[in-house]
Chain A
Amino acid sequence: MSRITEILNREKAGTSGEGSPPNILRTLLAIQSELGHVPPVAVSEIAEALGATDAEVAGVLSWYPDLRTQPSGRHVVRVCQGESCVANHCGRILKGLEKKLGIGLGETTRDGLFTLERVYCAGNCAASPTVMIDEDVHGRVTPETVGTLLQDYR
């Protein structure tokens, strides 16, 4: 049985008696948390298991910015672009990272180690500028220190 099938069985079994039908978003997030992304080829299987149409599943998959249809690098580096970070000139942090990694926003380094993205507010506004690496939040980042941050993830 494929890992996706296992997750789909869990979702069907775990649906509570509260009258809530199988949940497409929760299922896609569960798949992503195990596989790192949701392969678009799995849409039909997911739809069938949840009693939804392919269009409904594909529609949810394309709607949410944090659902991935492609694998990311081993670590996802996200530069915060919330207002407090913008006020603290986070553009300089992004430029520093682009230079250090040799990639632009949305790209992955050739060694597959880092994917560079942005986030609209990590909620770390009182310690801006912010860079999130995977689930770790780093505050008061400067263009000088941003390179050192990456070292711990290599």
Chain B
Amino acid sequence: MMGRLYLPQDTSARAVGADRLAKAWEKERGVEIVRTSSRGAFYLEPLVETDGPHGRIGWPNATARDLPRILRGEGGTLLDTIPFLAKQTRITFANSGVTRPLSLEDYRAHGGFAGLEAALRSTPEKIVEELSISKLRGRGGAAFPVGRKWQAALETHADRKYVVANADEGDAGTYCDRMIMEGEPFRLIEGMLIAAYAIGATQGYIYCRYEYPAAARTLREAISILTEAGYLGEGALGCNARGGGRFTLEVFVGAGSYVCGEETALLQSLEGKRGMVQPKPPYPAISGLYGKPTLMSNVLTFATVPAILARGGAWHASLGTAHSKGTIALQIGGRVKQPGLAEVPFGLALEEAIEEFGGGMAAGARFKAVQVGGPLGSLFTKAGLRTKICYDEFARAGAILGHGGIVVFDQESDMVGLARHFMAFTADESCGACTPCRVGSVRAREILDSIAQGRGQPGDLELLADLGETMKQMSLCALGQRAPYPVLTAIEHFRKEFR
């Protein structure tokens, strides 16, 4: 029997046994193992695939003993018929699970570099205009209009400009940047190349978090492959481009600080200093790394750019809701049946995300609350589940989409413990540059500690609300401004537990 088996190389697939399968099968005669990226349907991992007459056929949750029946073609499922995958609108993640992460051949065969080619045929001004038409907003959490940022970096004159990808994906519950870096690093780099050409940058950095060693390794290999192939280095962007068309790229690994995901702190860290948040303005697009104009976006944002250049800003603006254009990579986790990544146009109700993609609650679990947007995101109860996943409805609910993380909690979750966990996180991670966050988070954690130990005092909850208001209004960055939200929404929805 002969067979080519596709097996993901993604960290989460490996975390549940993909490497064990590869090792068990590598010596089998007639078996060729091709390591690909992951589909993001992590509840199915390890997911083994083969080529079928109507597309890939998958064997979910495979074990080493499944090899004979996989080779005989018994019991597989046509990938395109799995509702979790079929119901998505995959653009940035279109090649997830299909291609080999470091194969230029695969990348080109699946539409790679079409965006860069379109950009190089265009002018910097037209590229920025296309991004403005697309209405793309930063996907890292702050949701700033990308076109405006590029415009500012383009208009600022300097002898040197930088492009920086924020790969400090620190929001717990999110992993879409990791999937891109490990699964299709060329797409991120293509987005950065387009940015470099548009603003006239000659040097780029990818600031990758310490917790993602596999992503950093893959990126470094991708950079050396692209340098070899002439996409990076001298004249990469054509000799007539500004800066001589040179663009070099480097991976910089951080050392475990959450606040370094904030753009000004990240730049401090990239310069090798303590990751302290800086007041804005000046904005990095005008004065960033080493005081030079620096175009910085999150990984997912850069990875969205090639498709916009290839297919046009108007196409991107046709997806989503009135003020939230394009797709969002929902990362559904916690106590759901089907944890994984779902790329969908904005506008889906939170309930649909949990039911249709998350598959509802895991066996034995009852829904208690859901947190959207990482450790600084608000909690929702059943009553809030009709909220549509888009910037304006979330803003009206006093909530954030952040980086697209959705974590579902079950009936066994203790809300006081959870609130304390959130505030302890902020107290640990506060950079200390501003007093409301530095002191406020510690005081709030102390109050929550005493409530958790049954020593709560009358007036504690009012004090927490007051402290929270001060932090929201007076903190320097989103960490302090947003930290009170998960705690205060926990109190609002589960007041009885806080006594």
Contacts and interface: CB of A to CB of B under 8 A. Distances in A.
A29 B172 contact: no
Contacts, number: 150
B339 A125 contact: yes
Contacts of A85: 172
A108 interface: no
Contacts of B212: 123
A126 B333 contact: yes
A59 B333 CA distance: 37
A123 B403 CA distance: 12
Given A82-B173, A126-B42, A130-B15, A63 B274 contact: yes
Nearest to B331: A125
A63 B430 CA distance: 11
A88 B335 contact: yes
B171 interface: yes
A82 B413 CA distance: 14
Given A67-B255, A139-B15, A126 B172 contact: no
Interface stretch (A1-9, A17-25, A97-105): A17-25
Contacts of B314: none
B255 A122 contact: no
How many residues of A sit at the interface, in one of the four size bands?
35 or more
Given A24-B273, A67-B255, A127-B42, 15 more contacts: A28-B255, A60-B274, A63-B274, A64-B256, A65-B256, A83-B172, A84-B334, A87-B334, A87-B413, A120-B172, A126-B331, A127-B45, A127-B339, A128-B339, A137-B11
Interface of A: 18-20, 22-29, 56, 59-60, 63-67, 81-89, 119-128, 130, 132, 135, 137-140
9 contacts: A18-B248, A24-B272, A81-B172, A81-B421, A83-B371, A87-B407, A120-B425, A123-B212, A124-B175
Interface of B: 11-12, 14-16, 40, 42-43, 45, 160, 169-175, 178, 202-203, 210-214, 248, 252-258, 269, 271-275, 290, 331-335, 339-341, 371, 374-375, 405, 407-410, 412-413, 418, 421, 425, 428-429
Closest 6 CB pairs of A and B: A82-B172, A66-B256, A126-B42, A139-B15, A64-B255, A23-B272
